[in-house]
Amino acid sequence: MRSFHNLILAALMAAGCCSCAGVAADDAELQRKPEMKTKPIPVILDTDIGDDIDDTWALAMMLKSPELDVKMVVSDTGDTVYRAKIIAKMLEVAGRTDAQVGVGIPFETRTRRPQGEWVEKYDLASYPGKVHQDGVGAMIDLIMKSPQPVTLICIGPVPNIGEALEREPGIAKNARFVGMHGSVYKGYNGAAQISKECNVVNHTPACQKAFTAPWDVKITPLDTCGLVVLKGEKYQTVRRCEDPVVKALMENYRIWLKNNKLPDNMFEEKSSVLFDTVAVYLSFCEDLCVMKDLGIRVTDDGYTVVDEKAKKVRVATDWKDMGGFEDLLVKRLTGKK
C-alpha cells in the first residue's frame, strides 16, 4: 500500500512522462536463465490489493511466472474482505482455484475501495477453492507443514506477518521474506531524500518484527521499484493482450484510474508506477538489479536506514537493466517479447 497522496503523485509521474534467491545453491543455472524450467518455489503472497493498482499487476505477474508455485494469497490491512474478493476473483479468472485464499487481520473498514466495482457482485463464499477466514493461521499451517521452505512475497504493510511471528516464531525456520519495503538511498519519484515508505510507516512495529526475524530478508525499496512504468509499445502490448488474466488486470486499471480521478489518457498511454512487480521478480531472480547486503534498521518513525549493527538485508539498491525487467514483465503477462 502506498498512501493515497503518494499513490497519486506516482501515478501522475507516470502520466507525464538474477541471482535467484532462495532456493538452494544448485539453482545457479536458474540465476543465469530465469526462463529455464526448474522446480517451482512455493510462495505465499501477502498483499493489500485494492488500494494501489500495482498489487494487481504483481498478482498477475506471479500467476504467470513458472518459477513460482502459488500456494496461498492473503489479504492484508484495512478491509481485508474486500481485498480477498479481488484475490479470489483474479484466481478464478486465471484458473488457479487450487491456490488458497486467506482473509487477513482487519484493522478498519476503509471507505475508499477504488477497485470495488470489479467485485461489487462477487460472493467470496462462491470461490471454488479454500477460503480461510483466519488467513494468518492458515499461513502458519502452510509454512510449518511445507516440505520445502516457503517464500513470503509481501507487497503491503505486514500486520499479518507480525501476527504470524507472534503466534508461531518457528515459521522463520521454514520461510524467507521478500518484500516491497523502504527507501534506502532514494525516495518517491527518485528523489534524493529518502522517504517514509508507506508499507513501512503504516504498520511500523510489524515491519520491525519482519526485518529482525531469523529468516533471510530481501527487499526492493523505492530506489528500484519506484521507477518502473510501462509505456510506449511495451504498455500497448499489455493493453491489447486478450489473455483473460491481462484483460481482468486492464479492467481493474480502468476502474482504478476513474475512481482516483486520474487523467483520462493514462489508460491509453501508460501504466502507473508498478512498485510491487519488482518484489515478485526478486522472489526468483535478481540478475537485473544491483544487490547489496546492508544492515537495515526500521526506525520507530518509519524510515529504513542503513545501520552496520542491524540485521543484514539483501537490498536492490539500483538497476542494472530496468528495460530488461520491463521486457520480462511484458513477456510474462502476454507471452510476447
Q: Which domains does the chain have, with CATH numbers?
A: 4-334 (3.90.245.10)
- Counting as low any pLDDT under 50, the low residues of the chain are 1, 3-5, 7-9, 11-36
Closest CA to 280 of 2, 8, 9, 18: 18
Tell me the C-alpha distance between 187 and 196, whole Å.
Answer: 8
Tell me the C-alpha distance between 182 and 196, whole Å.
Answer: 7
Say how many CA atoms lie within 13 Å of 112 toward its Cβ: 14
Closest CA to 60 of 219, 235, 236, 250: 250
* Residue range 130-167, pLDDT digits in tens: 999 999 999 999 999 999 999 999 999 999 999 999 99
Q: Angle at Cα 317 formed by Cα 314 and Cα 319, nearest 5°?
A: 120
Q: Which three cell numbers stand for residue 326?
A: 520491463
| CB-CB contact of 152 with 172 (8 Å) | no
Question: What pLDDT, on the 0 to 100 scale, is given for residue 14?
Answer: 47
Tell me the C-alpha distance between 321 and 222, whole Å.
Answer: 16
Question: What pLDDT, on the 0 to 100 scale, is given for residue 209?
Answer: 98
Closest CA to 64 of 251, 284, 223, 239: 284
Tell me the C-alpha distance between 51 and 104, whole Å.
Answer: 15
Q: Which three cell numbers stand for residue 58?
A: 504483481
Question: What pLDDT, on the 0 to 100 scale, is given for residue 112?
Answer: 83
First to last CA, the chain: 30
Tell me the C-alpha distance between 84 and 74, whole Å.
Answer: 7
Instruction: Tell how far CA 78 is from the center of its chain.
Output: 16
User: Pairing state of beta strands 100-102 and 131-132?
Assistant: parallel
The one-character DSSP state at 171 is G
Q: Which three cell numbers stand for residue 22?
A: 532462495
- Three-class SS state of 256: helix
The one-character DSSP state at 91 is H
